[in-house]
Amino acid sequence: MRNFVKIVLPLCLILGGAFGFKYFKSKEVKVTRKPPQKHVALVETLQMEPATHETFIHAMGTVLADKEIILKARVSGEVIWVSPKFVQGGLIREGEILLRLDDSDYKLEVDKARNSLNKALADLEIEKGQQLIAREELKLITQISPEGVGPTDLALRKPQLAQARAAVASARNDLEKAGLDLKRTRIRVPFNALILEKNVDLGSLVASQGALTTLVDVTKYRVEAQLPLDRLPLLKVDETQGSPARIRSQYADHEWEGRVVRITGKTTGQSRLAGVIIEVPDPLGLKGDSRQKLLLDDHVEIRITGQTVENVYALPRSLVRENNTLWIYNSGHLKIRPADIVWKEKDRVFIRSGIHPGDRVIASDLPVPVQGMELALTPGEGS
């Protein structure tokens, strides 16, 4: 029995293991490999046709006064009246009286000058009478003694007459000067103005050439912008027919119209940008419209309309790929072409070569673009 157990039991274990292996082998899951499916990227495209387009130049600029002066008094005196509009930030029309000075002394000077003129005129008339007497006396002397006194200038009192006439002219000048000084006691505004600073008030003593206020001409403002040098050829610079521009403030939802009138004539240091002057008429709406007021020193957005470019393709700037290339959908395949960009704007570019009429430029992103890879159009686009 002991030998039986030693022989039979191992055989039973071996047979059981063999049957178990065969059983589990028959239950093994068989994996069948399928050939990989071909993946074709779906893309959206823009069909391109050449056309003529206006160019736009976008920039930032600063609003500046076109004309700013310090108004000074031409005579001295005490301020006895101030216009209600004479406040900081006030607007006042051309020719309006800003303030008045005490004119009592100047009225007296006018009366004094008028009296001096009347006296000079009277002296002139007296001298004319003396001229007649001198001629008659000369005639009598000549009749008595033909070889006596001759008709000299002194005998005819010509120097005295010239002196009287000079005194009249001087008196007239003094009267005119006194009248001008009297008129200058009324300080008037030389143009439609915005009051930036107010230096005097009622009761102030003003000296001749004393600063009264700082005024800015509001007939027009200018906006100075900095542009790259390659933008200048498409600008038209002229005082009346310059390239139109639209100015938008960052604080107000409003646009002002202007024109490019000048180039500053120099470039900035390191950035190598050129200064361009844009003229904005009636920036405060004094002609009666209810628009917003353009503020001095405001930083504004500028869009200048440049000259037109012909026979070019316009497309979004984002469609220009690395190294200025375009992805073209070409009969179900990707074609990568270099593009000749003739003009760049904020959101679009103009291309003259690298695209043919009817080409479809791919607007979709491709993770790994490879020349010749297969593509398919999204449903709804033509083939």
Residue 19 covered by a domain:
no
Residue 23 covered by a domain:
no
pLDDT of residue 181: 95
More confident residue, 370 or 23: 370
Residue 20 covered by a domain:
no
CB–CB of 324/353 below 8 Å?
A: no
Helix (H, G, I), strand (E, B) or coil at 18: helix
Structural domain count of the chain: 4
Residues 144 and 269 in one domain: no
Residues 153 and 131 in one domain: yes
pLDDT of residue 69: 96
Q: Mention every residue, 6+ apart, whose C-beta is less than 8 A from residue 169.
A: none
| Total count of residues recorded for the chain | 383
Residues 111 and 244 in one domain: no
Residue 242 covered by a domain:
yes
- Which pLDDT band holds residue 267 (cuts at 50, 70, 90)? confident
Q: Would you say residue 193 has pLDDT above 70?
A: yes
pLDDT of residue 119: 94
Residues 108 and 167 in one domain: yes
Residue at which a domain ends, from 176, 202, 218: 218
Distance in angstroms between the alpha carbons of the first and the last residue of the chain: 89
Q: Would you say residue 70 has pLDDT above 80?
A: yes
Of the chain, the percentage scoring pLDDT greater than 70 comes to 84
Residue 274 covered by a domain:
yes
Helix (H, G, I), strand (E, B) or coil at 23: helix
Q: What is the pLDDT of residues 10-32, one digit of tens each?
A: 767 777 776 666 666 666 555 56
Residues 116 and 76 in one domain: no
pLDDT of residue 378: 86
Q: What is the pLDDT of residues 300-356, one digit of tens each?
A: 999 999 888 889 999 999 999 988 899 999 988 999 999 888 888 878 899 988 888
Residues 225 and 297 in one domain: yes
CATH code for position 243: 2.40.30.170
Residues 47 and 156 in one domain: no
Q: What is the pLDDT of residues 78-124, one digit of tens each?
A: 999 999 999 999 999 999 999 999 999 999 999 999 999 999 999 88
Residues 327 and 372 in one domain: yes
More confident residue, 39 or 309: 309
Residue 295 covered by a domain:
yes
In this prediction the pTM is 0.71
C-alpha–C-alpha distance, residues 215 and 88, integer Å? 10
Q: Would you say residue 131 has pLDDT above 80?
A: no
CATH code for position 371: 2.40.420.20
Residue 17 covered by a domain:
no
Residues 153 and 111 in one domain: yes
Residue at which a domain ends, from 141, 160, 184: 184
Q: Mention every residue, 6+ apart, whose C-beta is less than 8 A from residue 354.
A: 326, 337, 338, 339, 340
Residue-number span of the structural domain to which 333 is assigned: 43-54+310-377
Residues 73 and 212 in one domain: yes
Amino acid symbol at 353? S
**Do β-strands 41-43 and 375-377 pair in parallel, antiparallel, or remain unpaired?**
parallel
Q: What is the mean pLDDT of residues 115-136?
A: 85
Residue 271 covered by a domain:
yes
